[in-house]
A and B are shown apart, each in its own frame.
Chain A
């Protein structure tokens, strides 16, 4: 037993080989995708968004624009309410699927990975970020929680 990443990586690799090898034709999301979103797309969007307020200034004497402009701020209200009182929007989530995000707590562990990894041999130490992707098992059955409870 060395560090946790080792065992998990091993298990992941095994899970993966069993599944990925089944249909290797699917394309993977490339490594650079997420940094592009966070460090390029997001600032671009913020810049375009910021033009909204100066352009409203020229239209502030038109009641229809005032109506539309203020109504559109509801999206901010919805995001804020959802953030502060997450349960208020639970009405839109089916009962059996509520709290799915709560189980994701072990650093570096991919969701849904089966924790038989605990007992498996320590191997190469390739983490989840290695080329092989983990197989997510029993995902809908709420096995996400397995990760949390096992630790």
Chain B
């Protein structure tokens, strides 16, 4: 028995402890790899090529890089920094911003959890493909769609609803299938078990697992790129990706929206795992550098692997003008398997491909699950239980919840939940994260300097500008919306500048030379500037 325990401890060591008794990553590399494992997932391998395919050409990288710099990296840095400095999961971190913003932390956890519950069923379908990769000929050869929709997903076709002429609902869509899909349930249990194995023991074990789950996909990526780009006619596909320039596409809003969405989903902010993982960091770790490393390698991974996918696209002679757009599921479950089936040694490549997708998916899954696990183990009642018990309970509950996606309407349910987590909850929550950290944080200081009326009017302008600008943009035109939004912001700014008290405390540097400028400082920049000087000072000092 002792022998067994000893072997267990070698394989799954207890995590190191920080000075305050909190678990800590074994090394900086463990943290960076784990966070990268969360960031690099199905979105990189499958979603990215689909987005580029719809907006093909080098001009794609202009909105993409702009979104990375102005959206991806700043938000990622925020999440990592607060987790690390406040040494707590999402709830504690946002409680530290203000006692009234705890709800933001809770909703971040909710987002991450909602995603992991449908993410694992997608991996269950991947496992179905993985199993079939061992048979010869590959069962989807020549019948890709049949195999995917019929054998793997096994859903009964829905009966679409309809609208009346006046815009009312004439009939609701209905889903006749109500049974369970046996094989999906089985793989679901298996994948949840693997996820549990990777995270139940905490950072000591996870810190080791990530060397494997992140290291191998990097090696596989190189192999897949080599194979994809050496296919017959691969050049035509790569030309679509890297050899064309369509400046006219930059004029449409669609490419910008796609780029922002891609950066956002692929880095994976707003799901709570960066904050949770960073809370197990050394308090004085180099957060800014870590954030840059994670964001850049995440993007590099998808940009490079896309060469492989575009090689396949060229090989299959799929061109955007003819086939329209490719969704996440299409590339992973239809396009790529189809190409695999045509290669010599198809089984080997199929096994390699689905194994890579699986590893990427697993490392994202246990990252996503970490947000809720940390939430529980941080709390006074949750820490009375050992982490392994908490992890087990959470995994069992999650398995039961995810069974709803293993039903004969599960695919459609998954699609619906995926649409609205990513389209609604995620953007709302991250917007709120930013607002809390730049507006609510230490707001009393600003009120005491410039007075309540000025503070209120400034923010009526800021928030009113957002809300009314968007309302006008949707009902009238985008230009008018922008005008109204900015106009309201500046009206609020100017009124608040004139009614503000003269700040008693000096603003830094040139901001203090003139009364109006000093008021401007306190109203617009104080809370945003304090943040870098506070938690971030912890990070900058060592």
Contacts and interface: CB of A to CB of B under 8 A. Distances in A.
B505 A42 contact: no
B437 to A, nearest CB: 7
Interface string A61-93: 111110111011111101111110010011111
26 contacts: A20-B540, A20-B542, A28-B532, A28-B540, A34-B532, A36-B70, A37-B75, A37-B528, A42-B438, A62-B161, A65-B416, A67-B413, A68-B417, A69-B424, A74-B107, A83-B103, A92-B102, A93-B102, A94-B378, A95-B380, A101-B98, A104-B444, A105-B442, A106-B445, A108-B445, A140-B87
Interface string A101-127: 110111110110000000000000001
Contacts of B541: 16, 19-20, 22, 26, 133-136
Interface residues of A, number: 89
A127 B526 CA distance: 13
Given A16-B541, A44-B260, A63-B173, 11 more contacts: A34-B525, A37-B438, A37-B528, A38-B528, A64-B175, A68-B417, A71-B420, A75-B111, A76-B107, A89-B105, A133-B537
A44 B445 contact: no
A45 B528 CA distance: 18
B537 A110 contact: yes
A108 to B, nearest CB: 5
A4 B507 CA distance: 12
A133 to B, nearest CB: 4
B286 to A, nearest CB: 5
B342 to A, nearest CB: 35
A31 B532 CA distance: 7
A73 B161 CA distance: 24
A29 B288 contact: yes
The DSSP consensus for interface residues of chain A is helix
Contact of B380 (A50, A94, A107): A94
Nearest to B444: A105
A149 interface: no
Contacts of B533: 110, 128-129, 133-134
B449 A92 contact: no
B20 A83 contact: no
A92 B91 contact: yes
B529 A108 contact: no
B508 A129 contact: yes
B434 A140 contact: no
Contacts of A1: none
Contacts of A73: 424-425
B509 interface: yes
Contacts of B101: 82-83
A146 interface: no
A102 B442 CA distance: 9
Contacts of A41: 70-71, 74-75, 434
A19 B542 contact: yes
Contacts of A139: 538
B537 A134 contact: yes
Contacts of A72: 114, 420-421, 424-425
Contacts of A60: 169
B409 interface: yes
Nearest to B170: A61
Contacts of A48: 257, 260-261, 427
B274 to A, nearest CB: 15
Contact of B162 (A61, A93, A136): A61
Nearest to B107: A75
Interface string B431-456: 11011011100101110110000000
Interface in B70-113: 70-71, 74-75, 77-78, 81, 86-88, 91-92, 95-107, 110-111
